């Protein structure tokens, strides 16, 4: 009696599985005609294998995740593969890209989740950890000026960095070439300084390539007007905003009776040169973006991105960066 009941049960289960195989093969499971069955269940796996239905999720390959420190966004490329074909890839921001390849930009360190869907409905999920982006400038060196009966002593304290770490600390005197901090004299003594104006620049460079610079002005009995002229000449040579600001501060601090107008005119001319140079850089970046939008090649994208990031902060730079972000989604 028990044996007969068992046989009846086995026959019932066999018929049920045969029906399920037919339903899976016809693609009816999960439709309005049949309720969904968990793909993690043993029943689904056993029956799906018998029906020849794909149950393996796609594989996901990742490239572009930086392995060394960098101070720019990381372009992460996703490639999915599956024997039944990949339907789409879902990026961390929820964007769904049809096909087996996609890219997204990691703007900071963190965890980014991507998903790949195959044409049989299987989903693979992968978490990408990015931890080599450092966009924060390090702490710049400090110059300490002390005066005593023997003159002026200058001491430099190196900067530091808490993210990627300090790569090197450099300094220069009077617009000379930068040298390593280790070569800076422990005391820059007044006894060897002539009565004139000195410019000491120092910078900290971290392992991601970020820099922090400071300019220290040491006036050893030089008339204020000559200080202003010296700084204007420096700004005209470097076109650096920090040098322009230093020259403007020197002009503003000139005593009453000094004709500041002529110095401001000179400085205004330098600012116009900077604006003209920036305009040329924007035109060059725009052209690179147009080329990238046509070719959709990674090498063209990287070049355009380098031009945009080199621009000073402005609304034009923001607009170009937004265009870059749009192009990124359609790279080949």
Element (H, E) at 118: strand 110-118
Class of domain 142-222: mainly beta
Hey, where are the domains in the chain? 2-51, 59-130, 142-222, 249-332
- What does the block give as tokens for 5? 């009941």
pLDDT at position 196: 63
CATH level 3 topology of 59-130 = Immunoglobulin-like (2.60.40)
Residue with tokens 């049949």: 34
Strand 86-90 and strand 74-81: pairing?
A: unpaired
Same fold, 59-130 and 142-222: yes
Over its length of 332 residues, how does the chain's per-residue pLDDT go in tens digits? 444 444 444 444 444 454 545 554 444 444 444 444 444 444 454 545 455 555 688 999 999 999 999 999 999 999 999 998 999 999 999 999 999 999 999 999 999 999 999 999 999 999 999 999 999 999 999 887 776 655 566 778 888 999 999 999 998 887 788 888 876 665 555 444 555 667 888 899 999 999 998 888 776 666 677 777 778 888 888 888 888 888 888 888 877 766 788 888 889 999 999 989 899 999 999 999 999 989 988 889 989 999 998 888 888 889 998 998 888 878 87
Are 303 and 285 a contacting pair, CB within 8 Å? no
pLDDT at position 5: 40
Are 125 and 113 a contacting pair, CB within 8 Å? yes
Q: d(Cα 92, Cα 112) in Å, to the nearest integer?
A: 6
CA trace torsion 235, 238, 239, 242 (10° rounding): -70
pLDDT at position 53: 53
**Residue ranges with strand state E in the chain:** 59-63, 74-81, 86-90, 96-98, 101-106, 110-118, 123-130, 142-148, 151-157, 166-173, 179-180, 197-206, 211-219
Query: Which one, of 107, 128, 106, 108, lies nearest residue 116 by Cα?
Result: 128
CB atoms within 10 A of CB 7: 10
């Amino acid at each position: 009696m028990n044996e007969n009941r068992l046989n009846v049960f086995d026959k019932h289960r066999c018929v049920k599985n045969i029906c399920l195989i037919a339903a899976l093969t016809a693609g009816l499971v999960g439709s309005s005609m049949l309720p969904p069955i968990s793909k993690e269940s043993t029943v689904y796996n056993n029956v799906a294998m018998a029906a020849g239905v794909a149950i393996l999720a796609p594989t996901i390959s990742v490239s572009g995740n930086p392995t060394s420190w960098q101070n720019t966004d990381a372009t992460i490329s996703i490639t999915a593969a599956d024997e039944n074909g990949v339907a789409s890839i879902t990026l961390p921001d929820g964007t769904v890209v049809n096909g087996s390849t996609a890219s997204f930009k990691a703007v900071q360190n963190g965890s980014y989740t991507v998903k790949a869907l195959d044409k049989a409905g299987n989903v693979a999920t992968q978490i990408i950890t990015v931890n080599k982006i450092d966009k924060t400038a390090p702490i710049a060196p400090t110059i300490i000026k002390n005066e005593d009966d023997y003159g002026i002593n200058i001491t430099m304290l190196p900067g530091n960095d808490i993210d990627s770490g300090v790569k090197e600390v450099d300094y220069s005197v009077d617009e000379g070439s930068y040298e390593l901090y280790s070569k800076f004299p422990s005391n820059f003594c007044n006894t060897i300084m002539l009565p004139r104006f000195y410019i000491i620049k120092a910078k900290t460079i971290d392992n991601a390539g970020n820099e922090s610079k400071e300019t220290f002005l040491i006036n050893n009995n030089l008339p204020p007007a000559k200080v202003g002229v010296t700084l204007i000449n420096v700004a005209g040579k470097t076109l650096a905003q920090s040098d322009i600001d230093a020259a403007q501060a020197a002009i503003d601090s000139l005593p009453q009776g000094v004709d500041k107008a002529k110095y401001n005119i000179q400085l205004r001319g330098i600012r116009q040169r900077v604006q003209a140079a920036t305009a040329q850089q924007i035109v060059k970046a725009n052209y690179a973006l147009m080329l990238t939008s046509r070719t959709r090649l990674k090498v063209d994208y990287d070049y355009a991105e380098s031009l945009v990031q080199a621009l000073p902060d402005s609304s034009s730079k923001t607009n170009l960066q937004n265009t870059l972000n749009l192009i990124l989604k359609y790279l080949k």
